[in-house]
Amino acid sequence: MEATRLRLLSIAFSLILLLDATTAQMPGFVSLDCGGTGNFTDELGLEWTPDDRLIDGKITNISVANETRKQYQTLRYFPADDRKYCYTLEVISRTRYLVRATFLYGNFDNNNVYPKFDISLGATHWATIVISDANTIELQELIFLALDPTISVCLSNATTGQPFISTLELRQFNGSIYLTQYESQFYLSISARINFGADSEAPVRYPDDPFDRIWVSDSLRKANYLVDVAAGTEKVSTNMPIDVSSGERPPQKVMQTAVVGRNGSLTYRLNLDGFPGFGWAFTYFAEIEDVGNKSRKFRLVLPGMPDLSKPIVNIEENAQGKYRLYEPGYYNISLPFVLNFRFGRTSDSSLGPLLNAMEINKYLKKNDGSVDGSVISSVVSLYSSTDWALEGGDPCLPVPWSWVQCNSDPQPRITKIELSGKNLTGNIPTNLTMLSGLVELWLDGNSLTGPIPDFSGCVDLKIIHLENNQLTGELPSYMAELPNLREL
Mean pLDDT, residues 302-327 taken together: 91
Residue 436's region, left for phi above 0, alpha for psi from -120 to 50, else beta, is: alpha
The span from the CA of 456 to the CA of 434, in Å, is 10
326-351 core/surface letters (b: 16 or more CB in 10 A; e: else): bbebbeeeebeeebebbbbbeeebeb
- Determine contact, residues 471/452, Cβ cutoff 8 Å: yes
Neighbours of 73 (CB within 10 A): 18
Percent of the chain with pLDDT over 70: 93
Q: Is residue 452 scored above 80 in pLDDT?
A: yes
What domains appear along the chain, each with residue ranges and CATH number?
Answer: 27-174 (2.60.120.430), 188-365 (2.60.120.430), 373-481 (3.80.10.10)
- Determine contact, residues 486/464, Cβ cutoff 8 Å: no
- Segment holding 415, helix H or strand E: strand 414-418
- Determine contact, residues 32/100, Cβ cutoff 8 Å: no
- Window from 10-24, 123-137, 282-296, 456-470 with minimum mean pLDDT: 10-24
The span from the CA of 164 to the CA of 167, in Å, is 10
Neighbours of 41 (CB within 10 A): 12
Highest-scoring range by mean pLDDT, 37-51, 217-231, 444-458: 37-51
Tell me which amino acid residue 293 is.
N
Mean pLDDT, residues 262-280 taken together: 95
Longest CA–CA span in the chain (Å) reads 95
- Determine contact, residues 121/99, Cβ cutoff 8 Å: yes
Residue-level pLDDT at 223: 53
Mean pLDDT, residues 248-253 taken together: 98
The span from the CA of 433 to the CA of 455, in Å, is 5
Residue-level pLDDT at 222: 57
326: DSSP letter: B
Residue-level pLDDT at 51: 97
304: DSSP letter: T
- The string of DSSP letters for 194-254 reads EETT-SSSSPB-TTTSTT---BEETT--STTSEEE--TTEEEEE--S--B--STT---HHH
Tell me which amino acid residue 67 is.
E
pTM above 0.85, yes or no: yes
Q: How confident is the model at residue 387 (pLDDT cuts 50, 70, 90)?
A: confident
Phi, psi (degrees; rounded to nearest 5) at 71 = -65, -15
Tell me which amino acid residue 378 is.
S
The span from the CA of 356 to the CA of 364, in Å, is 27
Does 105 or 6 have the greater pLDDT score? 105
Neighbours of 172 (CB within 10 A): 18
The span from the CA of 435 to the CA of 375, in Å, is 7
Residue-level pLDDT at 480: 72
Q: Is residue 11 scored above 90 in pLDDT?
A: no
The span from the CA of 36 to the CA of 72, in Å, is 9
Strand partners, 428: none
